């Protein structure tokens, strides 16, 4: 078949890889670069160089099994990345929550009065959240999960709700209405077995973009076109037609929309008979986040012994994170989320804006409705919103679902799956 894949993020590239050779695939990408959120930028400071992963930089092995298998197949090297977490308010000199590391200097904040009790209380709630996996429950809200838990009020208000808000990129009040399973999925699945052990993550050597080139080099019957702006998607005479803003038209037997839900909605809005499909896509809410890369230490916890890889501070209504990037080149720097503040750090190296889904129960109701619409007249949907939470793993999963229907005998499909 002639198959068009619109979008060259992880979902689109994975779909092309899994359909390659069996079909004539053409990937259309609006920008000049491939990879979507797999983006790595170079920065300099004082004559020294480092790389930045503005959208995401760490891989949790327990959460990314198919992505890790793909990296292994492509020969992409990874390195261990011990992680740690600090949570506190902007007005307090002492952090409310500090996780252990292997450094002896960390003993002071971890063993401070009440600190171990908060660690154990958080682990209790995360165990309750993990039970939602067994129930396949995306509908219970964070507030409905947390409030009945027999843990101190301070743990709920100063640790759990702010942490979930920072991870989700929303205000604390909004985070309470998120799916509890989604809001806490990273703490749940990367927490160590013991309360006093550090978190274990991985990083891709050279940055997350390092897998894009070897993936593209693995394609044989796929054509990739960049800098293509699509005007519309049409259905006529038994085929799909893509119309570029230049006026060029292309005919295909099937189309894979490997874009965020709001971009897929924009492409199908003029198609006849798609009212129900449009209604489903419209129920995936998104919001924008701002990320600033800088070298301003004032955005870190006040006490150096409290510094973690992941640091989040709240003011009662908002909580945003700063990541301490220590192994990305010739100097340390910080990556801060700054969507709800007018304050700006000094020594800014770069600034980025991204759109991420809001993982509410309504989002998961829409997710549950989408499989019944997949493949209608050869129209498919891929992307990180198709399953689970917004991640590379879910993007690959969405591509696998399509390949299982369009190229089930693929050796690459079997290897990744």
On the question of pLDDT at 8 being above 90, the answer is yes
pLDDT value of residue 198:
61
**Fold (CATH) for 2-38+210-283+362-416:** FAD/NAD(P)-binding domain (3.50.50)
Terminal C-alpha separation, the chain: 23
Residues facing 153 on adjacent strands: none
Residue 342 to residues 167, 174, 210, 290: CA-CA distances in angstroms?
Answer: 20, 20, 34, 11
Q: What is the pLDDT of residues 110-152, one digit of tens each?
A: 556 667 888 889 999 999 999 999 999 999 999 999 999 999 9
The pLDDT of residue 192 is 64
pLDDT of 177 higher than 60: yes
> Two tokens at 223?
């054509």
pLDDT tens, residue by residue, 243-262: 999 888 999 999 999 999 99
The answer to whether domain 2-38+210-283+362-416 and domain 85-197+286-357 are alike in fold is: no
Looking at domain 85-197+286-357, which CATH architecture does it have?
Alpha-Beta Complex (3.90)
The answer to whether residue 105 scores a pLDDT higher than 70 is no
Note the pLDDT of residue 164: 97
Helices (H), 324-410: 361-369, 392-406
Q: 233, 380 in Cβ contact below 8 A?
A: no
Predicted TM-score of the model (pTM): 0.92
Closest CA to 216 of 20, 413, 5, 3: 20
For the chain, the structural domain boundaries read: 2-38+210-283+362-416, 85-197+286-357
Confidence of residue 382 (pLDDT cuts 50, 70, 90): very high
Which residue's entry shows tokens 């449009």?
278
Question: For residue 231, is pLDDT > 70?
Answer: yes
Q: pLDDT per residue over 267-278, tens digit each?
A: 999 899 899 999
Q: Tens digits of per-residue pLDDT, 48-65?
A: 999 999 998 889 888 999
Q: Considering the chain, what is the average pLDDT of its residues? A: 92
* Residue 199: HSE in the Cβ half-sphere, 13 Å Cα cutoff: 24
Q: What percent of the chain has pLDDT over 70?
A: 94
Whether 95 has a pLDDT exceeding 90, the answer reads no
In whole angstroms, what is the distance from residue 205 CA to residue 6 CA? 28
pLDDT score of 108 more than 60:
no
* Mean per-residue pLDDT, 299-315: 91
CA atoms within 13 A on the CB side of 384: 20
Q: For strand 379-382 and strand 254-258, is the pairing parallel, antiparallel, or unpaired?
A: parallel
Contact 23, 220 (CB under 8 A): no
Rounded CA gap, 172 and 165, in Å?
5
Give 10's pLDDT tier (boundaries 50, 70, 90): very high
């Amino acid at each position: 078949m002639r198959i068009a894949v619109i979008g060259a993020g992880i979902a689109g590239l994975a779909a092309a890889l899994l359909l390659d050779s069996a079909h004539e695939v053409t990937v259309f990408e609006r920008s000049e670069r491939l990879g979507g959120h797999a983006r790595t930028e170079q920065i300099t400071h004082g004559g020294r160089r480092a790389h930045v992963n503005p959208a995401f930089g760490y891989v949790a092995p327990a959460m990314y099994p198919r992505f890790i298998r793909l990296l292994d197949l492509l020969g992409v090297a990874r390195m261990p990345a011990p992680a740690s977490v600090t949570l506190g308010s902007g007005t307090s000199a002492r952090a409310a929550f500090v996780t252990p590391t292997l450094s002896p200097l960390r003993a002071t904040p971890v063993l401070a009065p009440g600190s171990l009790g908060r660690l154990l209380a958080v682990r209790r709630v995360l165990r309750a959240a993990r039970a939602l996996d067994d129930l396949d429950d995306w509908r219970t809200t964070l507030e409905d999960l947390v409030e009945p838990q027999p843990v101190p009020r301070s743990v709920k208000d100063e640790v759990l709700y702010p942490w979930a808000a920072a991870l989700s990129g929303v205000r604390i009040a909004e985070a309470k209405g998120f799916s509890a399973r989604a809001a806490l999925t990273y703490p749940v699945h990367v927490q160590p077995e013991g309360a006093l052990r550090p978190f274990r993550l991985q990083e891709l050597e050279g940055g997350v973009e390092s897998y894009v080139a070897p993936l593209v080099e693995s394609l044989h019957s796929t054509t990739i076109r960049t800098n293509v702006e699509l005007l519309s998607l049409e259905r006529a005479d038994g085929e799909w037609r893509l119309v570029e803003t230049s006026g060029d038209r292309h005919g295909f037997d099937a189309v894979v929309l490997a874009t965020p839900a709001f971009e897929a909605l924009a492409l199908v809005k003029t198609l006849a008979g798609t009212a129900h499909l449009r209604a489903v896509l419209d129920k995936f809410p998104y919001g924008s986040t701002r990320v600033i890369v800088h070298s301003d230490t004032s955005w870190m916890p006040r006490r150096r012994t409290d510094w973690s890889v992941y640091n989040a501070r709240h003011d009662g209504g908002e909580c945003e994170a700063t990541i301490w990037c220590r192994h990305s080149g010739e100097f340390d720097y910080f990556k801060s989320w700054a969507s709800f503040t007018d304050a700006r750090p000094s020594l800014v190296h770069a600034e980025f804006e991204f759109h991420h889904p809001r993982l509410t129960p309504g989002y998961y109701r829409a997710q549950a409705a989408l499989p019944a619409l997949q493949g209608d007249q050869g129209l498919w949907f891929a992307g990180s919103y198709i399953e689970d939470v917004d991640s590379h793993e879910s993007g690959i999963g969405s591509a696998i679902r399509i390949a299982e229907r369009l190229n089930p005998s693929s050796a690459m499909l079997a290897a990744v799956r």
